[in-house]
Amino acid sequence: MAGMNKAARAALSRRGLLAAAGALTAVAALPPGVARAQARAYPLGEFFKPTMSSGAALSPSGNRIAVAESLGTDEDPHSAVDFIDAADPEGQRRRIDLGEVEVSSIEWANDDRLLASVILKRTTATRALAGSNRRVAGVDYYMRRVVSVNVTTGDVVLLFSDQRQRMRNTFDMGRIVDMLPNDRDHVLMAAWEADAVMGLHRVNVNTGSATRIERGGSGTYHWRTVNGVPVLRHDMNSRGTIETIMVRAPGETEWKMARRTRVREAPDFLWVGAGETPGKVLVIARLDNEDVQSVREMDLMTTALGAPLNPRPGRDVAYGLPDSAGNYLGAAYYGERLEYEFVDPALAGHHRALNRFFDNSCNVHFTDVDQARNRFIAYVNGPAEPGSWFFYDKAARAIVNLGQSRDLDPARLGGSEVLHVQTRDGATLEAYLTAPPGGAAGPLVVLPHGGPEVRDTPKWDRQVQVLAAQGWWVLRPNFRGSGGYGQEFAKQGWTRWGDRMQEDVEDAVAHAIAARGLDASRVGIMGTSYGAYAALMGAVKRPDLYKAAIGVCGVYDLPDVLAWEEREDDTPGQPIYEFWTRRIGDRSVMGPALESASPRRRAAEIACPVVLVHGVDDPVLPLIQSRRMRDALRAAGKTVELIEIEEAGHADWEDVKEEALMTRYVELLRQAFA
């Protein structure tokens, strides 16, 4: 639980934990319109300290627990794994040191061996510049590997250790495809071959030795299996935007194409796992005549999709939940918080009880469920909870905190609430409003999400809490055109960039200001990707409202970006270009409207200072979009700064860079609100 150091956490009794949870939720869930006593907000740097725990896992039998702990820094990583007897979860822990690595995830291969996916940092030696005596520093690079840890002896084995050349030349050797619950000695892993083709390997977790059992195609990057047999294969195009789903039913020898689906832009096909019907698997998909994405069966022989399983009106499935043997337990949705539709109704009561334990203010994700469905690991996060792992023993009626990602006291963070916004044309939207610590009225920062066909959820968001720590309220609206609420809700934003989608943001701002008595003369707006577009378009349309605008990796000229997508889309039928034409608009039909909805072409109407940020190697939206936006603002005599991030893509830089950027954003907003 946030705010507890490790010694205090270990000593905490179940009764004490229950009391602490009540205290946490009491301060995090701020009653509407009521300001609590001023809590001392965290300085910005506290939000960027290294993580503490990075994961927890329950063995298949439910008898053992592992917790990955970070002991170092981002610059000098050092990790260990703590092992716990599930029958005595608050008892003595046994620690095995893994050395100078960063642990990204842990999974049990069997009750005796834990697999840890680790990241190793390597630095090339210094080298001399050609034709010069001057030497330059080496380049940092990272390698992902999997190690197998024997819980009893502490013996650590590197998987693929018998293939030295592959280990020297391959950066990513950490892709587990199947834990093979019925084979305690092996797992299936994907790894690149010497000819840059992905291979599927059967790896011994005791010795590390690997045997290739299958080669993929030229674009293969992943497989899905049932009982250790590959049944789905994912092949990616060269741009990394479209994947082809290949299917092979048990007993067949040839792969056949089932469908093509988008990777980044509102993906419409997701794997869940094996079903109860032979020859069929469970996937998340939506048929053309349906509104919401649902879990359903897919026939491996015909690739046909069955009827939806427990669809919820207006809510897309977030993911499917399996137990440790891969059996399907239910589907996850976001309502007021994370909710499950369980196959076994009895599990619903336990999840509701855990929600009440956290005063219905957090998302309780089941990450591990034993085969008896008696013991659970839950990852808990929320607007004022940066992430903790809990062990829940149904029979023993015990809830024990195992680890926490960050040492941040919820009393010093901003409480959050859901707003139900009525738009000017009669629609209803959800928006999340976060108060600064203490809840005093003041400035507002609007944070429209990217995508746009994704959605914000009531979970931890570091950027939100950094802004709230400055004494500002933060608003995250789920405007029409967002995903997660069904296709009809998303369609209401199609071809409405710059008008309906923008007006929804404005209506949410007006609602928040009126509901909480905020300072309407001090409002800023910032966002990433589509959110950057909304920030700059907001500054165009409402120069009276926004006092500063920040755009990260944004799109600012709609006709230009559509032309770029048309040139770049090398997939047959150009599905990505077609996708964006349907969402943004057809240039041949809507040319003038698209120009009018482009901030670059209306830069003269922007009155506030602007900061733009873009990764130089961004494959999603080209850097030229930000450069041209900067040039247009400069030509119009406006105040603008463009920060280009070297060796970075679509807002994927490291924490040290993000901390420096957040410092700059805070500086700009503070000056604008002065």
Please name the helix (run of DSSP H) or strand (run of DSSP E) that holds residue 511, with its range, or none. helix 500-516
pLDDT single digits (tens) 95-146: 999 999 999 999 999 999 999 999 987 655 554 444 445 554 555 668 899 9
**What's the rounded Cα separation, in Å, for the pair 166 and 197?**
13
Beta-bridged to residue 184, according to DSSP, are: none
**What's the rounded Cα separation, in Å, for the pair 618 and 199?**
28
Residue 515: closest CA among 383, 412, 422: 422
Asked if residue 538 and residue 414 are part of one domain, the reply reads yes
Whether 348 is in a domain gets the answer: no
**What's the rounded Cα separation, in Å, for the pair 552 and 661?**
10
Do 531 and 613 meet the contact criterion of CB atoms below 8 Å apart? no
Asked if residue 424 and residue 553 are part of one domain, the reply reads yes
Residue 64: closest CA among 114, 13, 30, 17: 114
Q: Which residues neighbour 655 within 8 Å (Cβ) at sequence distance 6 or greater?
A: 48, 74
Q: Is the peptide bond before 410 cis (omega within 30 degrees of 0)?
A: no
**202: Cα within 13 Å, side-chain hemisphere:** 12
Q: What is the pLDDT of residue 196?
A: 85
Query: How far is the CA of 454 from the CAs of 251, 266, 318, 448, 567, in angstroms?
Result: 38, 7, 11, 11, 25
**Total structural domains in the chain?**
2
**302: Cα within 13 Å, side-chain hemisphere:** 6
**232: Cα within 13 Å, side-chain hemisphere:** 28
Q: What is the pLDDT of residue 548?
A: 98
Q: Where are the beta strands (DSSP E) in 23-173?
A: 53-58, 64-70, 79-85, 94-99, 102-108, 113-123, 127-128, 135-136, 140-150, 156-158
CATH at residue 489: 3.40.50.1820
Do 585 and 558 meet the contact criterion of CB atoms below 8 Å apart? yes
Q: SS3 string of 585-641? A: CCHHHHHHHHHHCCHHHHHHHCCCCEEEEEECCCCCCCCHHHHHHHHHHHHCCCCEE
Whether 555 is in a domain gets the answer: yes
Reading phi first (left if > 0) and then psi (alpha if -120 to 50, else beta), residue 438 is in: left
Whether 187 is in a domain gets the answer: no
Do 230 and 224 meet the contact criterion of CB atoms below 8 Å apart? yes
Whether 213 is in a domain gets the answer: no
Prediction pTM value: 0.90
Asked if residue 578 and residue 520 are part of one domain, the reply reads no
Whether 576 is in a domain gets the answer: yes
Q: What is the pLDDT of residue 25?
A: 34
Which residues of the chain fall short of a pLDDT of 70? 1-39, 122-141
Q: What is the pLDDT of residue 361?
A: 93
Residue 297: closest CA among 280, 310, 311: 280
Asked if residue 497 and residue 442 are part of one domain, the reply reads yes
Q: What is the pLDDT of residue 64?
A: 97
Which phi and psi (to 5°) does residue 583 adopt?
A: -80, -45
Whether 517 is in a domain gets the answer: yes
Asked if residue 577 and residue 429 are part of one domain, the reply reads no
**What's the rounded Cα separation, in Å, for the pair 316 and 331?**
10
**What's the rounded Cα separation, in Å, for the pair 8 and 104?**
25
**What's the rounded Cα separation, in Å, for the pair 230 and 346?**
33
Asked if residue 538 and residue 478 are part of one domain, the reply reads yes
Asked if residue 641 and residue 503 are part of one domain, the reply reads yes
Whether 144 is in a domain gets the answer: no
Asked if residue 635 and residue 488 are part of one domain, the reply reads yes
Residue type, 54: S
pLDDT single digits (tens) 223-232: 999 999 999 9
| Domain boundary pick from 548, 573, 597 | 597
Whether 127 is in a domain gets the answer: no
Asked if residue 472 and residue 567 are part of one domain, the reply reads no
Asked if residue 496 and residue 439 are part of one domain, the reply reads yes
| Domain boundary pick from 597, 617, 645 | 597
Domain span at residue 625? 410-559+606-673
Residue type, 194: A
Q: What is the pLDDT of residue 275?
A: 87
Within 10 Å of residue 182's Cβ, how many Cβ atoms?
Answer: 9
Which phi and psi (to 5°) does residue 65 adopt?
A: -125, 140
Q: What is the pLDDT of residue 138?
A: 54
Asked if residue 628 and residue 554 are part of one domain, the reply reads yes
Asked if residue 634 and residue 500 are part of one domain, the reply reads yes
Q: SS3 string of 438-499? A: CCCCCCEEECCCCCCCCCCCCCCCHHHHHHHCCCCEEEEEECCCCCCCCHHHHHCCCCCCCC
How is residue 571 written in tokens? Answer: 């997939």
